Amino acid sequence: MEEPTAVDPAVIATGLRRVRKRRWFLWSLIIIYVPAVWTSLTLTHSDRATGLVFGLWLILLIVAVWFVTTAKCPRCGNLFHMHGITPLYLRNCLHCQLHVCADKQK
């Protein structure tokens, strides 16, 4: 049984802000990987220290992916980026097609 759809613009805007913050955290972690490893190798000249940086990055990435995939759509209440067992990080809800920036469009 599906949850009722939210029509209040304030509720949708708050929910979409939460989804966007989680997405930005994930994409920021992905972008920072190469500079972090390069900086670690340059400063420490140690594979062990770089492995530690990689391990920390991987743990943060797993947490970020979990947060993004469990973000609920504020309009339909389903998982925004999940349809079935596969996460798809698209800009629309995979259930109701709500755009991630729908609250900004006027």
Domain count, the chain: 1
70 residue type, one letter: T
Max Cα-Cα span within the chain: 56
In a domain, 81, yes or no: yes
In a domain, 24, yes or no: yes
What's the CA gap between 31 and 82, in Å, rounded?
A: 22
Quick check: 3 pLDDT over 70?
Answer: no
Q: H-type helices in the chain, by residue range?
A: 9-44, 47-69
In a domain, 25, yes or no: yes
In a domain, 13, yes or no: yes
In a domain, 15, yes or no: yes
pLDDT digits (tens, 9 = 90+) for 21-56: 999 999 999 999 999 999 999 999 999 999 999 999
In a domain, 99, yes or no: no
In a domain, 18, yes or no: yes
pLDDT digits (tens, 9 = 90+) for 58-80: 999 999 999 999 999 999 999 99
The DSSP element (H or E) to which 83 belongs, if any, is strand 82-83
In a domain, 77, yes or no: yes
What residue numbers bound the domain in which 14 lies? 9-34+62-87
